[in-house]
Amino acid sequence: AFEVAGMLKETGKVAYDPGFMNTANAKSAVTYIDGDAGILRYRGYPIEELAEKSSFIETAYLLIYGELPTADQLEEFDQMIRRHTMVHEDFKTFFNGFPRDAHPMAVLASSVSAMSTFYSDSLDPFDPRQVEISTFRLLSKVPTLAAYAYKKSKGEPLIYPRNELNYSENFLRMCFGFPTEEYEVNPVHAKALDLLLLLHADHEQNCSTSTVRLVGSSNANMFASVSAGINALYGPLHGGANEAVLKMLTQIQQEGISPEDFMEKVKRKEDGVRLMGFGHRVYKNYDPRARLTKKTADEVLETLGGNNELLDIAMRLEEKALNDDYFIERKLYPNVDFYTGMIYKAMGFPEKMFTVLFALGRMPGWIAQWTESVQDPDRKIGRPRQVYIGENERHYPGA
């Protein structure tokens, strides 16, 4: 691929590749995906093994530093993250300035951008010590900012972090606790959240990660680059699919449509309707993350007791699709988003928080990819070419 790029340069030609379907923007050692075989590995480790044996924090270490930590390294890393969860008190004034109905994802993106102003002593991309400080600041403080964004949208008092709690427990308490009450974290929910964050931790050169790299390529600092990634993820085509799945399932439930009739509608492409949570640009096989979230959906929905109609509908849709020629021929399988919306809803999160939770999970991936790009000896500012289709030279009247 590099030779081709070199040849194009020599001939003065450019490659026109909308959506970058065939253009690699990086050499990366972070994540491997084989979409045809349904394989996802972080630093060589299969996602299934990490999901079973690791935690979000340990996986974050793996993604960022390239190796699994020893027990001591993990303890130190975890303690560092717990110790830096507080954000500057002045952030409260900043939050007060947003309208009450502001989307929490817009609030999160703005506040991460504002970290460049609050933590201006760690902005140099080429000072490893400053990069390390920014890494801890992002991993530790973004959950606090995300929970503040949620509390702001509810008009509820902000809850300070409690460092004796682990990452997921702390986040759930900051979202659902009240200053005047003891909040007991549901262990099934905390474990499920940890798993979902781990499954979202990286996915190589997707839209938001490429954005982080592109912004970083101008030597912009880590906070500025990551906040650009959050804004890219905010777009419904990238981060909004689990919300769309939940809307689809709720619509099927409320209108009393049978999953079978809905599938017929999808196959007729009536009103452009698609089976949301199915299909993927890269996976032409079962998304390995979807298998893992299906099991978690079962466990979390169980904590609500009774039958869960939405899960039943989802399972019937999936069963139907996996045995249907329309889906088989087009290689359409469940993707990670098919079950995550239901899990988040069962935990008590409103739909507009779903993308914020995605951003929380993706943080280690963005940091790892930004750092890798800063250290890349072939580093260049990102500057795509274009195919000009405008007017030829013409002249201003009277010129």
Residues with a known catalytic role: 280, 337
Fill in the amino acid letter for 215.
Answer: V
Residue 69, C-beta contacts closer than 8 angstroms, at least 6 positions apart? 58, 61, 62, 77
Of 160, 135, 140, the closest CA to residue 366 belongs to 135
CB of 257 to ligand ACO, least distance (A): 16
Q: Distance (Å, rounded) from C-alpha 204 to C-alpha 41?
A: 10
Q: Which is nearer to ligand ACO, 21 or 381 (CB)?
A: 21
Give the binding site for ligand ACO (CB under 6 A): 238, 241, 266, 274-281, 330, 332, 335-337
- Measured between alpha carbons, how far is residue 121 from residues 118, 162, 327, 370 in Å? 9, 25, 52, 18
Strands of the chain (E only): list them. Answer: 31-34, 39-42, 45-46
Taking the complex as a whole, how short is the minimal distance between the CB of residue 228 and ligand ACO, in angstroms? 18
DSSP 286: -
Minimum distance, C-beta of residue 219 to ligand ACO, in the bound complex (Å): 29
Rounded to whole angstroms, how far apart are CA atoms 171 and 176?
Answer: 9
CB of 212 to ligand ACO, least distance (A): 16
Q: Which is nearer to ligand ACO, 154 or 274 (CB)?
A: 274
- Quote the CA–CA distance of 52 and 50 in Å, as a whole number: 5
Neighbours of 334 (CB within 10 A): 26
Q: Least Å distance between CB 10 and ligand ACO?
A: 32
